[in-house]
Structure 1
């Protein structure tokens, strides 16, 4: 059976700030086209005509789809005019959204380059959360768990650390505690009041697969309970029993991305606040 040739598209992302918004939107859209490989060209901090000229030259050399977030109307108009010349589709990612805001609120926006990155209270809350989370990773500094917003518990390889970091970037102070056979839990874990404690679980097959890959990458031996399916199944069963005993919610991460797991935890936080 012949292999299907994967096509590609040049994706030019032009921003007067960091470009994070564009990258997220572009990747979400590109993910819907499995047979197309997007070649990203990211141009952050484009705020002057000379900078835009260099971008335009690159678009002309490798035509493709152009997405942009430029507050300066002169730069926006020049980019759109040049793309029209090249026959390259050019879309302002924020324009339709700003249009809805303007229509609903009945007022014009106040243009601010990189407005979402302003050093306000929300920004410092995220930094504080990130600092807390890094210091409380993998069972460290358990004395002040009561200061956390969320405490994640789970056996090895249930994505506790990356989920914690993701939540921290959303301003959620997150600690994570590994559940290791034979190692006692922190004494204060079962008496916490303020934090939401969430158990992360997965299928034994998935955990074993990840652990085996981990051991291979470390050139370590795999003749231990660490990758024994029955032992892993018992670890996960103990996690479920512990959570059930305390009324802590569990999330099965077997087929979830980090983002999906974090979204489920954020929903649990919202639920808890409205109880």
Structure 2
């Protein structure tokens, strides 16, 4: 039997043991998991069990006090205890001239961050441009504004920071969903832009689509009407408003997070 001991899940140790076992007797080896070891007593129990069953201990423990205790007690009891991590940690320390953090479960944290980011990106795509109003109540942040106020780029940028963002376009002819009026004020942000800048952006957008730049979409009076309507909606909601006219997406995103954090939205990066 091999006791696989870790101050984390122990997946790394298990894979190593199975890889080595495959070289002997067809890989048939009994593995006993001891995961999330946190104190000396946990190790005392493992050592007693391993001695009684004449077993090997294979471990991935990064907390120095626990590692040292296991090494010393295993030696005293005549138990073969194999450290699967420290030879490589020592090599990294020597190569990069940098000390490790000596913290367990860091890889799991990295994995969790990755999956949270993927989930947030999928959320931003699904609830982009008001496609599904169910996303409004589920979002960490809801962006509202007229067309071409960077709602989608901001949603994606914030998603990469692991925030679930829904965005809703404001159009005079289409009443906004009731859900936006019931949002906590610290979850919603209004985006505005100067008429001249929006006119310029929309004209370029029409050109890229091969349409006439004088279409109603880029008409100046129409733009004034939309912006006026949007501001009325934002004031009714009572949400913070950001002028994105001359701001990069990154700058606007930082402002959004700062605003919501100040308002007590529980926004943390």
Q: TM-score, normalised by structure 1?
A: 0.57
Greater helix share, 1 or 2? 2
| Change in 2 beyond 3 A, CA 1:251/1:169 | same
Cα offset, 1:129, TM superposition: 1.3
Aligned partner of residue 273 in structure 1, secondary structure? coil
Cα offset, 1:120, TM superposition: 3.1
Equivalent in the alignment of 1:154: 145
Equivalent in the alignment of 2:170: 179
Equivalent in the alignment of 2:197: 206
In structure 1, how many angstroms separate the alpha carbons of the residues matched to 2:221 and 2:108? 48
In structure 2, how many angstroms separate the alpha carbons of the residues matched to 1:221 and 1:131? 34
Equivalent in the alignment of 1:27: none
Instruction: Establish whether residue 136 from structure 1 lines up as the match of residue 143 from structure 2.
Output: no
In structure 1, how many angstroms separate the alpha carbons of the residues matched to 2:225 and 2:187? 24
RMSD: 2.7
In structure 2, how many angstroms separate the alpha carbons of the residues matched to 1:245 and 1:177? 15
Equivalent in the alignment of 2:215: 224
Equivalent in the alignment of 1:49: none
In structure 2, how many angstroms separate the alpha carbons of the residues matched to 1:213 and 1:111? 54
In structure 2, how many angstroms separate the alpha carbons of the residues matched to 1:194 and 1:147? 15
1:254-265 to 2 correspondences below 5 Å: 254-265=245-256
In structure 2, how many angstroms separate the alpha carbons of the residues matched to 1:191 and 1:126? 27
Q: TM-score, normalised by structure 2?
A: 0.58
Q: Where in structure 2 are there 5+ consecutive unaligned residues?
A: 1-90
| Change in 2 beyond 3 A, CA 1:110/1:172 | same
Aligned partner of residue 120 in structure 1, secondary structure? helix
Q: Where in structure 1 are there 5+ consecutive unaligned residues?
A: 1-70, 78-94, 96-107
Which structure's CA Rg is the greater one?
Answer: 2
Residue pair 1:117, 1:123 contacting (<8 A) in 2 also: no
Aligned partner of residue 222 in structure 1, secondary structure? coil
Cα deviation 1:133-177 (Å, max 9, x = unaligned): 110001111124111011101111101000000001111110011
1:1-275 to 2 correspondences below 5 Å: 72=92, 108-110=99-101, 119-193=110-184, 196-273=187-264
Residue pair 1:151, 1:195 contacting (<8 A) in 2 also: no
